[in-house]
């Protein structure tokens, strides 16, 4: 798994490549906690190159969303999920907690 965080004026774009499972989700959690720890609560999460996400990975996304929305500071939005990611989010019930955009530009523009 590779994680790339790109700061923009109003938000930070986080792009993950590979698999998010029980082995790699702690790394993702650390990265996202570092971002929110710096006072950045508007996060665009690019899912275009994620091959697989486990329940541990979904839990990390949910925890980050909770931290971002606390005291109306911001939120995490998801962009460009492929068909498998879309189905996984729907089956897990997590899709209802996030705004999902078809492209990165729309996600960044939502802030």
Q: Which DSSP symbol is given to 40?
A: -
Buried b (16+ CB within 10 A) or exposed e, 16-54: beeebeeebbeebbebbeebbeeebbbbbbbbeebeebb
Question: What pLDDT, on the 0 to 100 scale, is given for residue 5?
Answer: 95
Q: Is 26 helix (H, G, I), strand (E, B) or coil?
A: helix
Cα–Cα dist 78/76, whole Å = 7
pTM of the predicted model as reported, rounded to 2 decimal places: 0.92
- Tell me the pLDDT band of 33, cut-offs 50, 70 and 90: very high
pLDDT over 90, % of the chain? 92
Q: Which fold would CATH assign to domain 2-109?
A: Transcription Regulator spoIIAA (3.30.750)
């Amino acid at each position: 798994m590779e994680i790339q965080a790109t700061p923009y004026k109003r938000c930070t774009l986080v792009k993950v490549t590979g698999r998010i499972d029980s082995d790699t989700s702690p790394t993702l959690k650390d990265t996202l906690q570092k971002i929110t720890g710096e006072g950045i609560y508007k996060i665009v999460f690019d899912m275009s190159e994620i091959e697989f996400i486990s329940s541990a990975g979904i839990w990390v996304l949910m925890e980050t969303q909770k931290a971002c929305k606390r005291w109306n500071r911001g939120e995490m939005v998801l962009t460009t999920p492929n068909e498998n990611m879309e189905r996984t989010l729907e089956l897990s019930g997590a899709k209802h907690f996030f705004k999902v955009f078809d492209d990165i530009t729309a996600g960044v523009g939502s802030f």
